[in-house]
Chains A and B, each alone.
Chain A
Amino acid sequence: MATGVLEKYGARQRLLDSDRLLAAILIAPAIIYIVALMGVPFVLSIYYSLSDVTTGGTDAPFVGLANFRALIGDPTFLQTLYNTFLVSGMTLLIVLVLGTIQAELLLRSFRGKWLVRFLILLPWTAPVSLSVIGWLWMFDSIFSPIDWSLRQAGLLGHPGALLGPATNLYWLGSGGLPMASIILVNVWRILPLGTVIVLAGLNSIPREVQEQALVDGAGYFRRLFQVNLPMMLPIFGIAVLFTFVFTFADMVVIYILTRGGPANSTHVLTTLAFFTGVQGGSLGQGAAIALFMFPVLAALSAIILMLIRRREV
């Protein structure tokens, strides 16, 4: 009897051991693939940022922190750093507000919902490098359909018009307008993602809670601020995380719209890294610029994950 139990215990132990071995074998390929193909470039990028490596050169003389020091003193870089936070911060703020409104609207019932859903999701589901070409045309310096509409509405293109007598606004031209255009396109692109995340949060609130709040006589805003929003805080954390990361790390919108111009005034970290490293050939400097993103992304991800997971415990 005792040996039977022992045997049974031993067999179960062996099965567990073999399970653990099997677990390791099954997961190893994925982890090795990721570590090899992301770890090696990551370590290399740190090494590059400390060296004077160029596209053509084979040697990489170690230069310590010279790349970083040169960046800190460079007005273009400081402008770039400012632009990066301006674009991702403003996009985040606008997407959260508009996304909440849009999600509230999509919860209601109306005709043709499937088509509306498809159209509203398009900016997020279409490949960004292709859809932003549409915006490049919308912002064209002569043929811009937006300018045409404004001229038709009498807001542009005649003396005394609200937006000025010129025939065009030059959306990507000069002053603050190019940055505003870039933020607009970023909002346009990320808004569907923000909306569907908030929508998932709204749908996750139990119906009884909503109904109880209604029965208790809570008005619309009371329900929004005291019932829905607090219950959705973890989901808002998710929306903040992904909206910020996807805008902060994006380079396509600016690469297609302005290429950082005019006069390097609309660069963000990603585009400056690309043009310095690939077009300019200074891999070291480019890697140093890109690395500036890492602490921000790491810290933000850590904080938000901690916040949303702590609530559970």
Chain B
Amino acid sequence: MEDRTRVKQAGWRAATYAGIGLFTLFSAMPFYVMLITAFKRESDLYDPQNNPFWFTEPPTMANLDLLFGNTKFLTWLFNSFLIGALVVVITLVLVIPAAYSLARLAGRWGETLGIGIFLTYLVPPTLLFLPFAKVMAALGLQNSVWALIVAYPTFTVPFCTWLMLGFFKAIPRDIEEQAMIDGYGRLGAFIHAVLPLAIPGILTVIVFAFTLSTSEFIYALAFVQNSVEKTVSIGVPTELVRGDVFRWGSLLAGALLASIPVSILYTLFIDQFVAGLTALAK
């Protein structure tokens, strides 16, 4: 009897590891191949007999040298970072007061309006990019990082307002009422009593405004053609692939290098992201 349970447990554990292993392989394989290919010599890479998952010839730094030395990769990284940082600032300035207002001051229609704002997050950039490009041209922003800095808050603000609304609602009202009894005004109570408790929410907003901006593709592709103004998410796929000439080593190295920091940030805060989405069902 005991043996049978033990066998059953061992089987259960084996099934768990096998299942997890398969799913992990499926998710991570392209990234692993990117990593290996980034350090492969061309002669190694372009031989269909060679193992694509390991080195047949010794690894090389040539692809990375080419990426950093002969392409605008660093410029694109800088553009992405600059756009991300400024979008974070605009998002925080718009979102914190809006979410606080919806959570505390707006009363019953705060929740409804919050859902309304969140729903605009479901309006995809692919629906709007054609006329939006004309609007950017009319504002004199075409072909510049500023077009993206202005455009990206249209999706970071709806999503982050909804996230922040959840954080503010979780802070007890007593805290600011106590602060107001202690002599602070509405604003003072907000700054001294509420904001310090909302720091996890603010961090979440910073991370998502940044990662959503750096991952964006469609607006960047439609608004920016000048290669020094491109972000890394369009620079790598459009500038390193020219017609039929693929520089696979550098291409995959660039794609992997730019992905990892964004992925780490995103993974650290994914629970907040999911909590935001699932809050719709509450």
- Decide if B58 is an interface residue (CB 8 Å cutoff): no
Closest to B27 in A: A120
As a 0/1 sequence over residues 244 to 282 of chain B, the CB contacts with chain A under 8 angstroms (1 = contact) are 000010011011101110111011001000110110111
* Residues of chain B contacted by A123 (CB below 8 angstroms): 27, 30
- Decide if A92 is an interface residue (CB 8 Å cutoff): no
Closest to A284 in B: B130
Are A137 and B252 within 8 A (Cβ)?
yes
Are A137 and B270 within 8 A (Cβ)?
no
Are B120 and A34 within 8 A (Cβ)?
yes
Are A273 and B126 within 8 A (Cβ)?
yes
Q: A125-B270, A133-B237, A200-B278 are in contact. Are A27 and B97 (CB under 8 A)?
A: yes
Are B130 and A235 within 8 A (Cβ)?
no
Q: A34-B157, A110-B17 are in contact. Are A42 and B280 (CB under 8 A)?
A: no
Cα separation A204 to B252 with both chains bound (whole Å): 39
- Decide if B148 is an interface residue (CB 8 Å cutoff): no
Identify which of B59-67, B197-205, B213-221 touches chain A: B213-221
Q: How far is the CB of A190 from chain B (nearest CB, A)?
A: 12
* Residues of chain B contacted by A121 (CB below 8 angstroms): 27, 263, 266-267, 270
Cross-chain contact of A127 among B48, B258, B282 (Cβ < 8 A) = B258
* Residues of chain A contacted by B20 (CB below 8 angstroms): 105-106, 110, 116
Q: How far is the CB of A143 from chain B (nearest CB, A)?
A: 6
Identify which of A1-9, A71-79, A171-179, A237-245 touches chain B: A237-245
- Decide if A135 is an interface residue (CB 8 Å cutoff): yes
Closest to B16 in A: A108
Cross-chain contact of A44 among B37, B119, B131, B260 (Cβ < 8 A) = B131
- Decide if B45 is an interface residue (CB 8 Å cutoff): yes
Cross-chain contact of A297 among B122, B214, B232, B275 (Cβ < 8 A) = B122
* Secondary structure type dominating chain B contacts: helix
Closest to A302 in B: B119
Cα separation A305 to B132 with both chains bound (whole Å): 28
Identify which of A15-23, A62-70, A211-219, A221-229 touches chain B: A15-23
Cross-chain contact of A48 among B37, B130, B214, B234 (Cβ < 8 A) = B130
Are B105 and A19 within 8 A (Cβ)?
yes
Are A283 and B158 within 8 A (Cβ)?
no
* Residues of chain A contacted by B52 (CB below 8 angstroms): 143, 145, 148
| B-binding residues in A (CB < 8 A) | 19-20, 22-24, 26-27, 29-31, 33-34, 37-38, 40-42, 44-45, 47-48, 98, 101-102, 105-106, 108, 110, 116-131, 133-135, 137-138, 142-143, 145, 148, 167, 188, 191-192, 196-197, 199-201, 204, 234-235, 237-238, 241-242, 245, 249-252, 255-256, 269-270, 273-274, 277-278, 283, 286-287, 290-291, 293-294, 297, 301, 305, 308-309, 312
Name the 4 nearest CB pairs between A and B, nearest first: A249-B124, A134-B30, A23-B105, A44-B131
| A-binding residues in B (CB < 8 A) | 13, 16-17, 19-20, 23-24, 26-31, 33-34, 37, 45-46, 48, 51-53, 93-95, 97-98, 100-102, 105-107, 113, 115, 117, 119-120, 122-135, 150-151, 153-154, 157-158, 161, 186, 211, 214-215, 217-218, 221-222, 232-234, 236-237, 248, 251-252, 254-256, 258-260, 262-264, 266-267, 270, 274-275, 277-278, 280-282
Given contacts A130-B254, A200-B275, A238-B280, 5 further A-B contacts (CB under 8 A): A108-B16, A134-B33, A238-B278, A297-B122, A301-B119
